[in-house]
Amino acid sequence: MRLLEVKHLFKEFGGVVANSDISLEVEEGMTMGLIGPNGAGKTTLFNCIAGYYRPTRGKILFDGKDITGWPSHQVARIGIARTFQGMKTLPNMTVEENVMVGAFCRTKNREVARGEAQEIMELLNLREKAQSLPTELPIAIQRRIELARALATKPKLLMLDEIAAGLNPLEIKEILQTIKRIKEERRLTLFLIEHVMEFIMTISETVIVMAAGRKIAEGPPEKVAREPKVIEAYLGEKYAKG
Amino acid sequence: MGRLLKDIFSFEDRPRFERIGFLIFILIVLVFPWIIKSAYGRAVMIKFLLFALFGLGWNLIGGYGGQVDLGQAKNVGFGAYATGLMMLWWNVPFWVTVPVGMIIAAAESFGVAYPMFRLKGHYFAIATLCVALVWKELFVFWDWTGGARGVEIPIRPTPNFTYMQFGSPIYYHYFIFFLFMTQLLFMNWFRKSKLGYECQAVRDNEDVAASLGINVYRTKVIAYTITGGLGGVGGSFMTVYYLYIDPDFVMPLDLSILIAMTVMVGGAGSIWGPVIGAALLIPLDMYLGAWLGAQKRLGIDFMIYAVIMMFIAAREPKGIWGIIERMRKKRA
């Protein structure tokens, strides 16, 4: 079943075209990767889907519903959760409270929210840090907090924006394992932006490549990586020909 | 129902030293008028409880919600005038005027919140300040509110609980303590409620809050509306305690700022912050101000105020409560 569908999406900022005629489909249960050089418009596309930006033109369908232009809190409630590029924690709330805020998306009851938060913290190995403030913890753990918080909203589609950025190889391996595990346990569909190639190439079933606001390639990772257009976008024309 | 009551009355989730401190505080306030016989000392205590009450309400939007509101005096004014005018015109009992004042203050807050929350940060703070100033000028200008002359409450021949007029300040002491405790317990419920969590998330990061399904705008409007209603309670008390109100007394800019200041000094966004802030600033104002005034050194107390404020702003944004929490963490 098709979970997310983007049709001919354009996003312009003044004269700058950040997304130009993007179309894509994400099937339920799959893992979709989104790569491209800096400034390709990946995060802009995420922001359009998640309701932070209103697309200039085009349509976004989720679960068959037209969600184009919905505000982000409604997008979250319908079942799309996201994490942010860089670090965005709730700095004055404890780890447990961070996750509880996510859980409150689906319940009014504090005890239910706390139970849900504890379950997810267990899943992500955050139990011991429950009473710490996120800003006191290392980056790798802060990333897990973001993941936990997003997960607590009980999404169908989880969009991760550079979740592995700034982590060391060991931590990348860890978070890769974690993401695979939660995908299984929570029956998630994943859509992720990543610069770390070994990460995105191992986890994704399909990869979309963007450059200069356009979609330039789509397919299985090993095939996409060999496409001249993709190599050109990353390394320049010279290498693509050779 | 049981859960609601538990949320209101239970401080179980707070560490033990806080609960013991709170208990000692209650005991001190309860025996206070029997130990302190001086009228001035009792007046200081009542003013402290009044400002702690103001602070508790303001803490909802200013502390938990993180929106710097510099116009709480208008809500105090709505409460004060609702009680004053209804008593003057129709002899309405005090306990009826309180909810009416709260509803008026909340309704006005709801009305202005809508356009005001299109603004953020400093611009929002300035807007709240302006709205409060406009209301104050209107109350000076209007005839039906008594204008600049204000409202005088007719004195009842006998003390009574219907109009809350008493001969002895002891009654007022327990009366304001009762109002203070109800508001404290309300805030105790609030901080554990879904709305409480949502407000804090909005304060910490609006983008994250929205990504977790929180309607940021709506949350702010609701928080601001409730804060407005809570501000009215203290205003109603002022009317029956001072028996005279005018716009310069119940809704000046100074009052708005002092309310915000007590909470920030004490610790915004914590349940005890407003109480600690009022416990420091009000006696300081009443004793130091009076003492320095008698020495013909007017204005020095304001300088001391300003220094405290600057110190807190620069060194400890979480106020005195932030310092206490940090010390405790270091020891643990």
Does A172 share its domain with A211?
A: yes
Query: Domain tally for chain B?
Result: 1
Local confidence band at B294 (pLDDT 50, 70, 90 cut-offs): confident
pLDDT in tens, A22-31: 999 999 999 9
pLDDT given for residue A47 in this prediction: 96
Q: Do A73 and B208 touch (CB under 8 A)?
A: no
> Residue A84: inside a domain, yes or no?
no
The whole-number average pLDDT for the span B270-299 is 88
Task: Show the DSSP H helices in chain A as ranges.
Answer: 42-49, 72-78, 95-103, 110-123, 139-152, 169-186, 197-203, 221-224, 228-235, 237-241
Given a contact cutoff of 8 angstroms between Cβ atoms, the answer to whether B267 and B320 are in contact is yes
- Final residue of a domain: which of A112, A127, A154? A154
Q: Which two tokens stand for residue A3?
A: 């979970």
Q: A74: nearest CA in chain B?
A: B213
Q: What is the ipTM of this complex?
A: 0.92
pLDDT in tens, B48-74: 999 999 999 999 999 999 999 999 999
Q: CA of A242, closest CA in chain B: separation in Å? A: 45
**Domain residues for A186?**
2-79+155-241
pLDDT given for residue A46 in this prediction: 96
Q: Which residue among B3, B197, B215 places its CB closest to the CB of A101? A: B197
Does A22 share its domain with A74?
A: yes
Does A59 share its domain with A98?
A: no
Does A160 share its domain with A74?
A: yes
pLDDT in tens, A84-108: 998 889 999 999 999 999 999 999 9
> Residue A169: inside a domain, yes or no?
yes
> Residue A200: inside a domain, yes or no?
yes
Mutation target to probe the B interface, by most B beta carbons within 10 A, among A101, A108, A133 is: A101
Residue A144 has pLDDT above 60, yes or no: yes
Buried/exposed code over B145-157 (b: 16+ C-beta within 10 A; e: otherwise):
bbeeebbebeeee
The whole-number average pLDDT for the span A210-238 is 88
Distance from C-alpha of A40 to C-alpha of B145, rounded to nearest angstrom: 63
Instruction: Say which amino acid occupies A76.
Output: A
Cβ neighbours for B247, distance < 8 A, ≥ 6 positions apart: B77, B136, B137, B139, B140, B145, B148, B150
Q: Do B194 and A92 touch (CB under 8 A)?
A: no
pLDDT given for residue A8 in this prediction: 96
The CATH number of the domain holding residue A199 is 3.40.50.300
> Residue B188: inside a domain, yes or no?
yes
Does A66 share its domain with A120?
A: no
> Residue A85: inside a domain, yes or no?
no
Q: Do B269 and A101 touch (CB under 8 A)?
A: no
Does A168 share its domain with A225?
A: yes
pLDDT given for residue A241 in this prediction: 57
> Residue B253: inside a domain, yes or no?
yes
Distance from C-alpha of A76 to C-alpha of A51, rounded to nearest angstrom: 9
Mutation target to probe the A interface, by most A beta carbons within 10 A, among B7, B202, B205, B208 is: B208
Question: B294 vs B200, which has greater pLDDT?
Answer: B200
Does A167 share its domain with A144?
A: no
> Residue B94: inside a domain, yes or no?
yes
Sign of CA dihedral B90, B92, B97, B100: negative
pLDDT in tens, B165-202: 888 889 999 999 999 999 999 999 999 999 999 999 99
> Residue A7: inside a domain, yes or no?
yes
Distance from C-alpha of B257 to C-alpha of B239, rounded to nearest angstrom: 20
> Residue A86: inside a domain, yes or no?
no
Q: Which residue among A73, A104, A111 places its CB closest to the CB of B210? A: A73
pLDDT in tens, B67-107: 999 999 999 999 999 999 999 999 999 999 999 999 999 99
pLDDT given for residue A240 in this prediction: 63
> Residue A10: inside a domain, yes or no?
yes
Distance from C-alpha of A180 to C-alpha of A12, rounded to nearest angstrom: 35
Note the pTM of the prediction, 2 decimals.
Answer: 0.92
In chain B, residues with a C-beta closer than 8 Å to the C-beta of A111 are 3
> Residue B263: inside a domain, yes or no?
no
pLDDT given for residue A163 in this prediction: 92
Q: CA of A228, closest CA in chain B: separation in Å? A: 37
Q: What percent of chain B has pLDDT over 70?
A: 100
Residue A242 has pLDDT above 70, yes or no: no
Question: B290 vs B249, which has greater pLDDT?
Answer: B249
Q: What percent of chain A has pLDDT over 90?
A: 83
The whole-number average pLDDT for the span A147-160 is 96
pLDDT in tens, B130-152: 999 999 999 999 999 998 899 99
DSSP secondary structure letter of residue B143: T
Cβ neighbours for B196, distance < 8 A, ≥ 6 positions apart: B64, B190
Given a contact cutoff of 8 angstroms between Cβ atoms, the answer to whether B233 and B179 are in contact is yes
Q: CA of B330, closest CA in chain A: separation in Å? A: 14
Mean pLDDT of all residues in chain B? 92
The whole-number average pLDDT for the span B119-130 is 93
pLDDT given for residue A10 in this prediction: 96
Buried/exposed code over B23-36 (b: 16+ C-beta within 10 A; e: otherwise):
eeeeeebeebbeee
Query: Domain tally for chain A?
Result: 2
**Domain residues for B106?**
2-258
Distance from C-alpha of B60 to C-alpha of B121, rounded to nearest angstrom: 16
Does A159 share its domain with A233?
A: yes
Distance from C-alpha of A94 to C-alpha of A117, rounded to nearest angstrom: 12
Does A96 share its domain with A193?
A: no
> Residue B305: inside a domain, yes or no?
no
